[in-house]
């Protein structure tokens, strides 16, 4: 049985016929996405899975409004995306912290623009620092933190602004296995308490199946949506990851991803 209650209304994000061509100043243009169509429901947790270079980050940047949509359209709550906004919080693949600001100041930064009174901002920042397990490191600078701690700071900063949708680009990719598992269950717990739409990019099939309501598997570059797999598991079961249903789903999704990874490798090896 599916435990996550995705919204029953219309889609919150509509992606239709989107292509994305990078035109680097030197070298050949790269078609990163080709005819991508996808809908994400309100409060749904959608994972995007696909081989390296298939355009996952590109798709996330387009939804975030960090890149312009040139072909096709992307609607958010019915309106075309015109640029970045506080309604869409993004956690980047590579940590994007201000190196000259402390953990606390990095988390406070986004809140300062949102206008609650100072004490409330400080309280809220602290609660998200605590939530990601960085209590005691409030006054540390990014250069004094491990990769995982930097990423947790970035997650705290994004969660603190309470965006309508969370765009997460391999947020746990750089973490050790233990921290990664902890963060995965923390994220699920946060999401259950305050369900919001999440688009979560990962390379990790288990992570996608564990976290998501649906897993969209992308093809090798140029990226298209190959298949969408509905994940029907009882996520409230603490032992779900050991269940045969979980293992079978991971196997099924692995099969889809492996085919594309092989194609991507062949494309890299061919002249």
Ligand X SMILES: Nc1ncnc2c1ncn2[C@@H]1O[C@H](COP(=O)(O)OP(=O)(O)OP(=O)(O)O)[C@@H](O)[C@H]1O
Beta carbons within 8 Å of 71's beta carbon, 6+ residues apart: 17, 18, 19, 20
Name the minimum Å distance from CB 61 to Mg ion.
9
Least distance from ligand X to the Cβ atom of residue 9, Å: 30
The two beta strands, 71-76 and 79-80, are antiparallel
Residues of this chain that bind ligand X (CB under 6 A): 22, 24, 30, 32, 50, 52-58, 93, 221
The CB-of-136 to ligand X minimum distance in angstroms stands at 32
Q: Before 222, cis peptide (omega within 30)?
A: yes
Which one of ligand X, Mg ion, none is in contact with 24 (Cβ closer than 5 to 8 A by kind)?
ligand X
In order of 2, 3, 45, 188, the CA distances from 205 in angstroms are 18, 19, 15, 16
Of the pair 53, 133, the CB lying nearest ligand X is at 53
- E strand residue ranges, 94-249: 165-169, 197-202, 214-218, 225-230
Choose among 168, 152, 176: nearest CA to 202.
Answer: 168
Toward ligand X, which CB reaches closer, 30 or 105? Answer: 30
Phi/psi at 70 (5° precision): -100, -40
Question: Should residue 58 be labelled a site residue for Mg ion when binding is judged by CB under 5 A?
Answer: no
Stretch that binds Mg ion, among 16-24, 90-98, 181-189, 249-257 (CB under 5 A): 90-98
C-alpha dist (Å) from residue 51 to 100, 110, 111, 180, 203: 34, 32, 35, 20, 7
**Partner touching 31 among ligand X, Mg ion, none, CB below 5 to 8 Å by kind:** none
Minimum distance of ligand X from residue 84's CB (angstroms): 17
Question: Are the C-beta atoms of 54 and 264 separated by less than 8 Å?
Answer: yes
Q: Which does 66 bind (CB under 5 to 8 A by kind): Mg ion, ligand X, none?
A: none
Least CB distance to ligand X at residue 93 (A): 6
Q: Nearer Cβ to ligand X, position 32 or 156?
A: 32
Q: Are 159 and 128 in contact (CB under 8 A)?
A: yes
The answer to whether residue 202 forms part of the interface with Mg ion (CB under 5 A) is no
Q: Does 57 bind Mg ion (CB under 5 A)?
A: yes
Q: Out of Mg ion, ligand X, none, which partner does residue 102 contact, by CB within 5 to 8 A per kind?
A: none
Residue among 18 and 107 whose Cβ is closer to Mg ion: 18
Q: How far is the CB of 57 from ligand X (least distance, A)?
A: 3
Place of tokens 């100041």: 105
Binding site for Mg ion (CB under 5 A): 57, 93
């Amino acid at each position: 049985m599916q435990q996550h209650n995705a919204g029953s209304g219309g889609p919150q994000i509509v992606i239709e016929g989107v292509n994305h061509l990078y035109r680097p100043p030197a070298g050949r243009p790269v078609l990163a996405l080709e005819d991508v169509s996808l809908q994400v429901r309100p409060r749904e947790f959608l994972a995007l899975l696909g081989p390296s270079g298939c355009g996952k980050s590109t798709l996330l940047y387009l939804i975030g409004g960090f890149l312009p949509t040139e072909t096709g359209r992307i609607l958010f709550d019915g309106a075309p995306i015109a640029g970045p906004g506080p309604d869409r919080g993004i956690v980047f693949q590579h940590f994007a912290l201000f190196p000259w600001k402390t953990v606390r100041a990095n988390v406070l930064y986004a809140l300062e623009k949102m206008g609650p009174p100072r004490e409330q901002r400080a309280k809220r920042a602290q609660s998200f620092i605590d939530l990601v397990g960085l209590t005691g490191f409030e006054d540390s600078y990014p250069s004094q933190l491990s990769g995982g701690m930097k990423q947790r700071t970035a997650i705290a900063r994004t969660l603190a602004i309470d965006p309508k949708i969370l765009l997460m680009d391999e947020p746990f990719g750089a973490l050790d296995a233990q921290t990664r598992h902890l963060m995965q269950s923390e994220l699920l717990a946060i999401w259950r308490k305050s369900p919001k739409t999440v688009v979560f990019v990962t390379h990790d099939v288990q992570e996608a199946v564990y976290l998501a309501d649906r897993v969209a598997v992308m093809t090798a570059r140029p990226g298209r949506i190959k298949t969408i797999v509905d994940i029907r598991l009882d996520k409230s079961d603490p032992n779900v990851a050991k269940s045969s249903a979980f293992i079978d789903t991971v196997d099924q999704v692995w099969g889809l991803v492996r085919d594309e990874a092989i194609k991507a490798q062949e494309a890299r090896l061919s002249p």
